[in-house]
Amino acid sequence: MGDAIIAERLGKTYGDLHAVRDLDLAVPEGTVLGLLGPNGAGKTTTVRMLTTLVTPTSGRCAVAGIDVVAHPDRVRRLIGVSGQYAAVDDYLTGYENLEMVGRLYHLGKRRSRQRARELLERFELTDAADRPAKTYSGGMRRRLDLAGALVVEPPVVFLDEPTTGLDPRSRLGMWDVIGELVKAGSTLLLTTQYLEEADRLCDDIVVMDHGRAIARGTAARLKAQLGGERLAVAVGDAEEVATAAEVLREVGVDEPDVDPVTRSVSVPIDRGTAALVEAVRKLDAAAITPTEIEIRKPTLDDVFLTLTGQPAEDQGGTE
């Protein structure tokens, strides 16, 4: 299988600012690549270059084997784009929005209308089809925007932070929709600030910071690099700390970290909840009732702490 999306030493500068620098990407057909990073990392600029919206200042990129800078019109026929700020017309109804997009893809009147109705049904917007989009909730707007990206069933789809700003329920709904899209065989590039989202949806992840790729690999590999999950226990009595540390040493895979001030102990684990259950039994046997006990999953902050030694701060500006 070939690569549906290719970027080679791709770069974009705005004056002195390097929004994206020497970025290499290769997304095989039918797979999902996640660009993971905080605000200002260059994710949106990358998507805008790949979708013909921004001209790169260096390097080259190709979508479905077609050079993006040389033949933007041919690329536009093959891609669907759903942006960070839903590209939906507020005054048009959901149906009118989708019908308009179909017409602009030159599907013709009949096919555009049929497609609009199909997509509204698939994205559970049929009830709201004839209401202006400005009356939609955030989740509904995102779904409508995503539907707009899928009007011609494009082989390559770009989703820029599809769930940023959505409430947890809408986020789950969006994940289901994206999951179905992947099952149908589309090649997908999505950007996200959430490690959990990348973990759940992507085959491969590229971590970006300050316009550069600072790490890449599968979610499992990145997590392994981070040391994966940790079991953390806090106790009420300072004398119990040593016993708790002893228990965690037994269930964990490495030396526990002990913080006497907060009376908390944590240790890397590789058995998930099985380690938690064992720890609870052993603590109980030692007559210790912890004030807190939890499994901590690595977050984007942990990724950045590990990779750069700095938390993932909002760097603002370039996006």
Q: Which is nearer to another protein, 106 or 249 (CB)?
A: 106
The one segment of 3-11, 93-101, 212-220, 234-242 that binds another protein by CB under 8 A: 93-101
Q: How far is CA 142 from CA 72, 123, 139, 163, 294, in A?
A: 25, 10, 5, 8, 34
- 128-147 residues in contact with another protein (CB under 8 A) are 132
Among 17, 104, 242, 253, binds another protein (CB under 8 A): 104
Among 4, 33, 88, 166, binds another protein (CB under 8 A): 88
Residue 86 interacting with another protein (CB under 8 A): yes
- 42-61 residues in contact with another protein (CB under 8 A) are 51-55
Helix count and strand count (H, E) for the chain: 11, 14
- 144-183 residues in contact with another protein (CB under 8 A) are 148
Q: What is the CA angle 149-48-301, rounded to 5?
A: 100
Q: Which is nearer to another protein, 138 or 260 (CB)?
A: 138
CA distance 159 to 194: 14
Q: Which is nearer to another protein, 88 or 208 (CB)?
A: 88
Burial class of residue 176 in the structure, from the number of CB atoms within 10 Å of its CB (0-12 exposed, 13-18 middle, 19+ buried): exposed
Query: Binding residues for another protein, how many (CB under 8 A)?
Result: 28
If phi > 0 it is left, if psi is from -120 to 50 it is alpha, else beta; for residue 263 that is left
- 228-287 residues in contact with another protein (CB under 8 A) are none
Q: Which is nearer to another protein, 4 or 241 (CB)?
A: 4
**CB 119 to another protein: min, Å:** 15
Token code pair at residue 9 = 């030493």
Token code pair at residue 119 = 């997509």
Q: Which is nearer to another protein, 100 or 293 (CB)?
A: 100
| DSSP string across 186-253 | -EEEEEES-HHHHHHH-SEEEEEETTEEEEEE-HHHHHHHHT--EEEEE-SSGGGHHHHHHHHHHHSS
Residue 91 interacting with another protein (CB under 8 A): yes
**CB 121 to another protein: min, Å:** 21
Q: Which is nearer to another protein, 156 or 198 (CB)?
A: 156
CA distance 292 to 53: 50
**CB 176 to another protein: min, Å:** 23
What is the largest distance, in Å, between two alpha-carbon atoms of the chain?
Answer: 77
Residue 317 interacting with another protein (CB under 8 A): no
Write out the residues near another protein by the rule CB under 8 A: 51-55, 73, 76-77, 79, 81, 83, 85-92, 96, 100-101, 103-106, 132, 148
